[in-house]
Structure 1
């Protein structure tokens, strides 16, 4: 496990893995899976058609999916959720077994096929709106093997796409507690 933690600690020196995740019963049941093998990672990437960001993979090898304690990410403009941020319910792990895993029954393909979300990449985080907005790795500018941006896709506003972060590391570092925001809009 020490080898898997090294890239996380180098890239996210402020990230305390013991406090980043909220391992409540629901998170453990719906999101958190055992660490993915190299073979599983490769097969999920083939199924999705995209190379997953290296830091996302490294984080999933330490804790494969779950609900972060800090659930709010600043947004540059108003969303249907709030004036200045989006909220994240959970981050999908790499796998097929858990409902909320990248290739699970409510994984990335589900949102594209069943809800009509644009096929811009990989939907990896859901929001508290019960499907009316999602967070995705956006590969439109970098191609399927590049380093994707992290975007918010708002189904309520004709699937409007808002860039949240230039990469996964920046997205994780941007997550803040709900108390940092005025949630009484």
Structure 2
């Protein structure tokens, strides 16, 4: 049984609350990944630019969920991380990296607005957003 089966009302309320708290519409592909258990098929994201990790990639430790104090919409979620680590305020922090805060992965809403389809950006130690995928679905497909 998927997360959405048998608990549609609860899940819809949770998603709605998260989107209101964040001020954005979350991509369906992100919500589907959470509904599937948020297990990533890979942890290595190739890049056409060097990162503090390597000349051609960065690592992802985990996908962040919604709800609770550590969810993207929670007390220690995206807004907290943006402020605490001085990430650019471009959208929503969605992935942890093994570096423990020195770099991060975000949904970037700057080009599409709060209801559009955000691209995925990698934020390294220099705090410059770099596009790594045109959508969250594309980001998942790139992971090795």
Please confirm whether the aligned pair reaches a TM-score higher than 0.5, indicating the same fold: yes
In the alignment, is the contact (CA less than 8 A) between 1:102 and 1:123 conserved in 2? yes
Cross-structure match for 2:141: 173
In the alignment, is the contact (CA less than 8 A) between 1:45 and 1:51 conserved in 2? yes
Note the alpha carbon deviations across 1:81-124, whole angstroms, 9 max, x for none.
11100100110012124x3x212343211111211111100010
Q: Deviation above 3 Å: which 4+ runs of structure 1?
A: 1-5
Higher helix share: 1
Residues 118 and 3 (structure 1), Cα distance of their counterparts in 2 relative to 1, 3 Å cut = closer
Superposed CA RMSD: 1.9
Residues 161 and 172 (structure 1), Cα distance of their counterparts in 2 relative to 1, 3 Å cut = same
Question: Which consecutive unaligned segments of at least 5 residues does structure 2 have?
Answer: none
One of 55, 61, 80 as aligned partner of 1:83: 55
Name the SS of the counterpart of 2:21 in structure 1. helix
Written as runs of structure 1 = structure 2, the 5 A alignment for 1:75-114 is 75-97=47-69, 99=70, 101-114=71-84
Asked whether 1:60 is paired with 2:60, we answer no
Cross-structure match for 1:146: 116
Cross-structure match for 1:48: 22
Shift of residue 4 of structure 1? 5.2
Aligned residues: 140
Q: Mark the structure with the bigger radius of gyration.
A: 1
Q: TM-score, normalised by structure 2?
A: 0.89
Shift of residue 162 of structure 1? 1.1
Name the SS of the counterpart of 2:104 in structure 1. strand
Question: Which consecutive unaligned segments of at least 5 residues does structure 1 have?
Answer: 6-35, 177-185
Give me the whole-angstrom Cα distance separating, in 2, the residues matched to 1:122 and 1:152: 12
Name the SS of the counterpart of 1:40 in structure 2. helix
